[in-house]
Chains A and B, each alone.
Chain A
């Protein structure tokens, strides 16, 4: 089946530093990847849609200059949390769409990255 990986699985960083999270589709190519954020005991909230070779589309209320998304290849998208603060501590999850899929299909989710900012 389709597998999506994320790296790192967890990270602790100091306030003011930047953190990069990678999302990879391991056995398929993904023209579109999605980044979600999940705070404790809450549901997933879509942050942005990442399309290979073009700028990401951010959801309302998500700061594009703070959450930098790069989708340089069909198998890799990265999310960089710049100048992280404790309120950015969260569970970040990516998902990907198989480029061969057409019509109705499901998204495949990564295992998530837990970010803790101290």
Chain B
């Protein structure tokens, strides 16, 4: 699976949009971009994933550049509960035998009141 690069930490004011970048310059054509987050002392929580089109769900939006070498996770109106470590992971489509998720160091996002 392709490696990802994320800033180690970011701050965002409560109520503002949090934009978390991720570089994945070696991504292959069949690899998806996944985002998970981990609130302190809890298991990771799935947020969103995409292949090449921008995606939006009730939690966030995912913007993938046209060359697919980077992406941005957007939390539109950050709250204090969004304080967590956010992991960007690239992985091939999950078929039996290759579902492994390889977690990097992620971005520690702190929402400031």
Contacts and interface: CB of A to CB of B under 8 A. Distances in A.
Interface of A: 4, 6, 32, 34, 36, 43-46, 49, 91, 93, 95, 97, 101, 103-112, 114
Most chain B C-beta atoms within 10 Å of own C-beta, residue among A4, A104, A105:
A104
A112 B46 contact: no
Contacts of B95: 103
B43 A46 contact: no
Interface of A is mostly: strand
A91 B100 contact: no
Contact of A95 (B34, B41, B43): B43
Interface of B: 32, 34, 36, 38, 41-46, 49, 87, 93-96, 99-106
B49 A106 contact: yes
Interface of B is mostly: loop
Nearest to A51: B96
A32 to B, nearest CB: 6
Contact of B43 (A32, A49, A101, A109): A109
Contacts of B36: 109
B42 A97 contact: no
Contact of A109 (B45, B96, B100): B45
